[in-house]
Amino acid sequence: MLLIRHPLSNLGVRAAVASGQLLPYTAAQDPTFPTQHTYWLVFLGEEANSARLAACYRNGGRTAGSHFALEQVDILDDLSGRLIIDWGRGTRTWKQNGTTASSKPVLAIAERAVDPFPGFENLVLTFHELETVISEPRRYTNWHAALSAVSAIYLVVDTATGRQYVGSATGEAGLLGRWKAYVDTYHGGNKLLVQELAADPSTYSRFPFSVLQILPRSTTPDAAVAIESLYKSKLLSRQFGLNAN
């Protein structure tokens, strides 16, 4: 394995990164460049001696001229853009044998990037996506803030049958608190959902969650139930869905 550090202080490197051309930039090497390494771990040099993992390329050998046939592979893909190491004092030695990797301290592993909160009108979460949002409050700070700031009428659907459940969230923690109950119990205490899960414990994994209407936090439980009932009538979720009343 070969380790490569492209310093971002270099204008050519910055241009390659900005244009998404880091692979062809890396593939263009001089005729004396070593050919024996199958994998190239490519880092971007940041401040001081630090280096952030950018990609792993498989070397298919030298092609015409001094170019290499490189192919990006998913080795360490989960750490791409997140793993930051101390390259050491020899930053001018921008290519090094992979045997030096074990001597390079890990400075940080950054948290994965989180999509911005999409807005309630665009919010549709699978159960597993909701579980991730609920269980990682530090990463999803903005999501938690938005979901806990409102009461709401929400919709849960069994994607295998199309049966719908309409619910309301008015508690102290708002919509976030109500949806957390589903993550904790899989059914949120809803009678027909409990029955569905008793018949097939994997049912919960088919539930997407979405918002039908946002309500002010000042909305009383009785007012929320009245709006919830109207949606049940519109969607026929009592007759053909998962609402028991």
* pLDDT average, residue stretch 58-85: 89
DSSP string, 135-191: H-TTTTHHHHHHHHT-EEEEEEE-TTT--EEEEEE-STTHHHHHHHHHHHHSSTT-H
Instruction: Kindly tell me if the per-residue pLDDT of 172 is higher than 90.
Output: no
Q: Decide: pTM greater than 0.85.
A: no
pLDDT of residue 138: 79
Phi (first) and psi of residue 227, to 5 degrees: -70, -40
Rounded distance between C-alpha atoms, residue 126 and residue 116, angstroms? 17
In which band, very low, low, confident or very high, does the pLDDT at 90 lie, cut at 50, 70 and 90?
Answer: low
pLDDT tens per residue across span 97-152: 877 777 888 998 887 778 889 999 999 999 999 999 999 887 888 899 999 999 99
What percent of the chain has pLDDT above 90? 64
Write down the mean pLDDT value for the chain: 91
Question: Which amino acid would we find at residue 68?
Answer: F
- Find out whether 194 and 187 touch, Cβ atoms under 8 Å: yes
Q: Which residue, 225, 224, 221, is CA-closest to 245?
A: 225
* pLDDT average, residue stretch 178-183: 96
* pLDDT average, residue stretch 179-190: 94
